[in-house]
Amino acid sequence: MKVLVIGSGGREHAICKKLAESKLVKELYCAPGNAGIKECAILVPIGVMEFEKIASFSKDNDINLVFVAPDNPLADGLVNFLEEKGINAFGPRKEAAIIEGSKAFSKAFMKRHNIPTALYEEFDSYENAKKYILKINKYPIVIKADGLAYGKGVIICETEKDAINALQEMMNSKVFGDAGSKVIIEEFLEGKEVTVLAFTDGKTVIPMPSSQDHKKAFDGDKGLNTGGMGAFSPATGYTSAAEKETIERIINPTIKGLFEEGRMFKGVIYFGLMVTKDGVKVIEYNARFGDPETEAILPLLKTDLMEIVLAIQKGELDKIKVEFEDKASLCVIIASGTYPGKVVTGYPINITAKLSDDVILYHCGTAIKDGVLVSNGGRVLCLSAKADTIEEAREIVYKEIDKVKFEGSRYRTDIGVK
């Protein structure tokens, strides 16, 4: 098959690497990709939101399948768009991807289907939201932009002043654009955070090993939320009791609820969970592989990824066996110095010594400029390793990580410690 992957991050590098290993994939393309993806796929200079160009390229090059990995094109209906043109695409359609694209939708969906989540209120007027905040006397509270905001649209507010500021930024200053026209204000959940990714064809669901992301920019969970600074698998808080509860009360009702509402979800669904003392609750849904969770999870996948993709498309996920290595894994993001703020790109990346064969260096935001590998984003690289335990995987990654550097580069030193 000829496959085109849409996206350009570490997640897409991990997906491309797996697809390149598939015996079912003859030619692999990635749009727009990055300098690391170039090692396993042919790069196509088309942006992820250039729907017409993606369709023309696919037609002109007889692409058999377009794998849509990132949130924005999924939420905006790239899969629908391609299908309407007779092009085979992998990922949820817009009607299903809305569980990520609108937090207001996903919260109301969970309410309709009795799926446990934080209590919340929704506002599209700054004045009403402010009035509500002035009545709250229990902090912290969580304020979320309704729409997509590159993983940065959630603010945990410790005081009333923080909350009013956050509202002001989202609703009046529009720091997240239209994504912040509507906000969700919800209770703060205490517990252990867990990510569960699952393959689903809309009826059958196969959860992948659990993982845990580290969203905050700095060690000790300090600083602003980022897209994710590192991840490990399996998640420590995900006991077998929590897993059972999650499948029964969250995963199965979500897939069934979407199906019943005519929003059949085909692809990879992401459950962001909090294991609290009152049970497991949903923090968020995503309609895709997580980043950087994918860089920790996919190296463990034993089954041919393309075989799974095809089974999902045919609605035959119940007919195949999906296997993962029974191991731990861990990955650490190497970011630009000022990420998640505004970053300067174009710094040459130095790999000062040969990396051990025990690690995989995924590229998240890199490019080749005048023949030189340079940084090209906030999250630039991701170093991943698997081992028998999380501690061992951690040791391997941190032993190697200082071999990879660029001006101002930085990483968290405590991934997998807590």
Total residues at interface with ligand GLY (CB under 6 A): 7
Count CB-CB contacts under 10 A for residue 145.
26
Note whether 291 binds ligand GLY by CB under 6 A. yes
By the rule CB under 6 A, 215 interacts with ligand AMP: yes
Peptide bond into 340 cis (omega under 30): yes
Count the residues in the chain. Answer: 418
Q: How far is the CB of 387 from ligand GLY (least distance, A)?
A: 22
Closest to ligand GLY by CB, 263 vs 288, is 288
Q: Interface residues for ligand AMP in 193-212 (CB under 6 A)?
A: 193
Contact 57, 89 (CB under 8 A): no
**Residue 189 interacting partner from ligand AMP, ligand GLY, none (CB closer than 5 to 8 Å by kind):** ligand AMP
How far are the Cα atoms of 55, 80, 107, 208, 253 from residue 113, in angstroms, in the given order? 36, 26, 10, 23, 7
What does DSSP assign to residue 189? P
Residues 6+ apart with CB under 8 A from 256: 113
Torsion angle of alpha carbons 371, 375, 377, 382, nearest 10°?
A: 110
Residue 291's binding partner among ligand GLY, ligand AMP, none (Cβ under 5 to 8 angstroms by kind) is: ligand GLY
- Please, are residues 374 and 367 in contact by the beta-carbon 8 Å criterion? yes
Nearer to ligand AMP, 193 or 395 (CB): 193
Binding region for ligand AMP (CB under 6 A) out of 20-28, 49-57, 188-196, 316-324: 188-196
Minimum CB–partner distance for residue 313 and ligand AMP (Å): 28
**Per CB under 6 A, does 100 bind ligand AMP?**
no
Q: Is the dihedral of CA 254, 177, 339, 221 positive or negative?
A: negative
The yes or no reply on residue 188 touching ligand AMP (CB under 6 A) is: yes
Task: State the binding partner of 228 from ligand GLY, ligand AMP, none, CB within 5 to 8 A by kind.
Answer: ligand GLY
290 binds, among ligand GLY, ligand AMP, none (CB under 5 to 8 A by kind): ligand GLY
- Of 17 and 288, CB closest to ligand GLY: 288
Q: Which stretch binds ligand AMP (CB under 6 A): 45-53, 128-136, 150-158, 353-361?
A: 150-158
The β-bridge relationship of strands 2-7 and 27-32 is parallel
DSSP output for 296-320? HHGGGB-S-HHHHHHHHHHT-GGGS
Kindly report the backbone phi and psi dihedral angles of residue 34, in degrees, each rounded to the nearest multiple of 5, phi listed first: -150, -175
Q: Pick from 189, 333, 380, 404: which binds ligand AMP (CB under 6 A)?
A: 189
Q: Binding string to ligand AMP for residues 282 to 301, with x set by CB under 6 A, is what? A: -xx-----------------
Q: Which of 230, 257, 272, 416 binds ligand AMP (CB under 6 A)?
A: 272
Under rule CB under 6 A, which residues in 222-261 are in contact with ligand GLY?
Answer: 228
**Which are the contacts of 286, defined by CB distance < 8 A and separation ≥ 6?**
71, 100, 269, 270, 272
Considering only CA atoms, which of 309, 323, 273, 313 is closest in space to residue 293? 273
Type of residue at 28: L
**Using CB under 6 A as the criterion, what x/- string covers residues 54-73 for binding ligand GLY?**
--------------------
Residues found near ligand GLY in the complex (CB under 6 A): 151, 213, 228, 286, 290-291, 293
Residues found near ligand AMP in the complex (CB under 6 A): 118, 142, 144, 151, 154, 156, 186, 188-189, 193, 215, 225, 272, 283-284
